[in-house]
Amino acid sequence: MALTLKVRAAVRLVYRPAGPRGFATAPTGPLAGVKVLDMSRILAGPSATMLMGDMGAEIIKVERPKSGDDTRRYAPPFIQKKKGEDSDIAAYFTSCNRNKQSVALNFTKPAGQAIIKDLLAESDVLIENFKTGTLDKYGLGYEQLKEQFPQLVYCSITGFGHTGPYKERPAYDMLIQAMGGSMSITGVPDGEPMKMGLSMFDLTAGLHGVIGILAALQDRHATGLGQHVDISMLDVSVALLQNQGMNYLAKKERQKRVGNNHPNVVPYQVMPSKNGHFILTASNDEQFEKFCKVAGRMDLVADDRFNTMKARVVNRPVVTPALNEVTKTQTTGWWLEQLEKAGVGCAPILHPDEVFADPHVLSRGMLIEMDVDGCDEPA
């Protein structure tokens, strides 16, 4: 059944630099022809469908009548119009909802459920991130839909997945950071556990959702059948422990918080300079020797406490203060210039405004110009 839907609001991508990772326009990308019904909201699901839209998929976003996605109210800041005036469009909402058409639809009512099913008849993918069991109440769960729509790839992104004792719990990124182990190993040794500055597991759950959807679409080429892609934020957070998790499994010892340091590599940390800070990552003995040569401190290479990675890790309480005194003697700019010439890993610590002005970031097409409905100029 063909439907004509009234678009509630759209965020339309009008410019995307063609390049190694870009597409001139979204409809010509590798997912052109794939139709996605986006019943997700907030961040994890919308970030997944946005990425699919960037690759050319057609995204129809279902929002609640009147109120819409919660992130429409996650403000300030708002997208600004001419002369610096605020629009009524939250910057947060636009960050994860480009390349979509939004429709206002109440799927808790039979009429809305019927429209959802009409849309599914023409869709390849449904993605949702409601608490487990929510859509089942309205006849829109995977088990209820799979016979009528056997071709459908149905992706659920939840805090704890659709199985297990925690499956019905609600979740937010900070809860997952706490329960997945990352907070316990983040922060300074004598301080409280620390969350990351980003909604890391909302975003990485979205990425895993896209990977699962693409795998399911590929499998459908062979079988003709869709499947349920069950993404758990907690699963993702545990998987991303990776080397830190294996450190525990190898020794059965809890990792202590080491601040901005690396538990297995020294120096791999924030270093003080004469006028600020920078990052130094001498990730092997050869790079450490190069650092010492730049610093004019080859005596450190001859010191048994410094001359191997194992020695530097074991003697971290001695090594770190000694290196700090060395790096304080020159400016950040001096260290970056000299260490880059020597091939030693280093970086400035940038604020977002500096990131968005960085020539490499700009050359990679990471800053795009968009038309946002409701604003009178690109944002």
Domains of the chain: which residue ranges? 9-240+367-372, 268-348
Active site residues: 202
What's residue 21's pLDDT? 34
Output the CA–CA distances (angstroms, integers) from residue 371 to 42, 139, 262, in the order listed: 21, 37, 42
Same topology, domains 9-240+367-372 and 268-348? Answer is: no
268-348: CATH, from 3.30.1540.10, 3.90.1150.10, 3.40.50.11540, 3.40.50.11810: 3.30.1540.10
Longest dimension (CA), the chain: 78
Class of domain 9-240+367-372 as given by CATH: alpha beta
Q: Note whether 223 and 152 are within 8 A (CB).
A: no
Instruction: List strands edge to edge, sheet with 35-38.
Output: 228-232, 153-158, 125-128, 35-38, 58-63, 100-104, 9-13, 370-372
Q: What is the pLDDT along the chain (379 residues), one digit of tens a residue?
A: 444 444 333 343 333 334 333 333 446 799 999 999 999 999 999 999 999 999 999 999 999 999 999 999 999 999 888 777 888 889 999 999 999 999 999 999 999 999 999 999 999 999 999 999 999 999 999 999 999 999 999 999 999 999 999 999 999 999 999 999 999 999 999 999 999 999 999 999 999 999 999 999 999 999 999 999 999 999 999 999 999 999 999 999 999 999 999 999 999 999 999 999 999 999 999 999 999 999 999 999 999 999 999 999 999 999 999 999 999 999 999 999 999 999 999 999 999 999 999 999 999 999 988 777 766 544 4
Nearest one of 322, 200, 333, 347 to 270, comparing CA atoms: 347
What's residue 313's pLDDT? 96
